[in-house]
Structure 1
């Protein structure tokens, strides 16, 4: 039974890796079929940006699922899911810097400083970089578990920034960013509730210590 479980785990991780690449494959296929709509650049930006949010939310969902189900094996895949969020964030930024701004640095700087939704999105992207760099087991040992965990709590701020970036981008139809926002609020709310549940006296007069 143990050997069978090990084989399943060995097969599941590559399968998850391939599955996480499928949005990119789908996007490339659409591009080759000239099926990116009237504004291909906007389609690329929107598509990659939404997948950043989706992978961030999936990554944040690992802890609640593990707590609720007891499936500690889920932790094996959290790092990879987080790195895919960074991967799609890189594609999102690249599509903006290359196709929208043609790598003209002064124009990028001006755009980042002048348009709030880009400011928030760019800041969130920058915050993702140290999380990706320190995602290895070696960096966990170097930083120490406590400092590493504190650093990686930036993902909460990144998630909020990503929702705000999307919300300010769409302006009129805010249905999708609201859905993502509700999911994020639920995942963060679970963490507050779970901490209060596991630590006696954590909740005092409605606040969490």
Structure 2
């Protein structure tokens, strides 16, 4: 059974299938926006949904290495970059929806809002830190930076994860609704602990 699953993961169509699956939320949101099916406040729905999918993508990306090691599925490594790129894609949509639908691309107002409201500042900081990770997610960047420097740079993802959860926590604080925040916080904490445990031998060197 495991051998068959590993063979399926190695299949050339596995990447195409993951690509389509990652694109489904965007397709649903685009269809909903075009057909007025996003509820009474579509702008808020889009901002919230793109943020949710960014967090989910971050969880899935961080889960690749622990699951690969625990389950003995080295084939999973080839999907990590795609998941990371889609996480950034939804993060970019989240920022665009806020900038356009909430702020009307009024850049002075956006800058003031980021400085004034801590949860937006934290979320924007997470997006800024995620940008260099995305730009250096390709093989050329690894060769250019060197493996060790590339690895250290990409450990910023731990900071991004913490900032993303804090952003979501502060956003939900006004509604006094912390159930979802707890789910993401526990999931990301477990994933980060597993990854940090894997890195201990490297960090001691």
Aligned partner (choices 130, 133, 142) of residue 131 of structure 1? 133
- TM-score, length-normalised on structure 2? 0.91
- Equivalence for 1:65: 67
3-state DSSP class of the match of 2:93? Answer: helix
Deviation at 1:38, TM superposition (A): 1.6
Deviation of 1:102 after TM superposition, in Å, equals 1.1
The answer to whether structure 1 residue 107 and structure 2 residue 109 are counterparts is yes
Corresponding residue to 2:34 among 32, 49, 60: 32
**Following superposition of structure 1 onto structure 2, how do residues 142-181 of structure 1 map, counting pairs within 5 Å?**
142-171=144-173, 172-181=176-185
> Could you tell me which of 47, 52, 55 is aligned with 2:54?
52
Could you state the TM-score of these two structures normalised by the residue count of structure 1?
A: 0.89
Offset from partner CA, 1:5-60 (integer Å, 9 cap, x none): 48952010001000000001111122223121121111000000010000011000
Aligned-partner Cα distance in 2 for 1:63–1:101: 38
Q: Distance in 2 between matches of 1:109 and 1:6?
A: 47
Structure 1 SS opposite 2:11: helix
Deviation at 1:92, TM superposition (A): 0.3
**2:82 maps to what in 1?**
80
Aligned match of 1:205: none
Is contact 2:9–2:75 with CA below 8 Å preserved after alignment? no
**8 Å contact kept, 2:53–2:90:** yes
Please give the secondary structure, in 2, of the residue aligned with 1:62: helix
1:128 CA drift (Å): 0.8
Q: Pick closer, same or farther for the CA change 1:76–1:21 going to 2, 3 Å.
A: same
Q: Deviations over 1:143-201 (max 9, x none)?
A: 000000100111111011111101100111111011000000111111234445xx4xx
Cα separation, 1, equivalents of 2:146 and 2:82: 20
Identify the residue that residue 10 of structure 1 maps to in structure 2.
Answer: 12
* Distance verdict in 2 for CA 1:39–1:188, change over 3 Å: same
Larger CA Rg, structure 1 vs 2: 1
Cα distance 1:115–1:40, how it changes in 2: closer, same or farther (>3 A)? same
Render the CA deviation track for 1:76-110: whole Å, top value 9, x for unaligned: 01001000000000100000111111111110000
**Structure 2 residue runs without a partner (length 5+):** none
C-alpha contact 2:8 2:14 (8 A) present in aligned 1 = no
- Tell me how many residue pairs correspond in the alignment: 199
Unmatched 5+ stretches in structure 1: 203-207
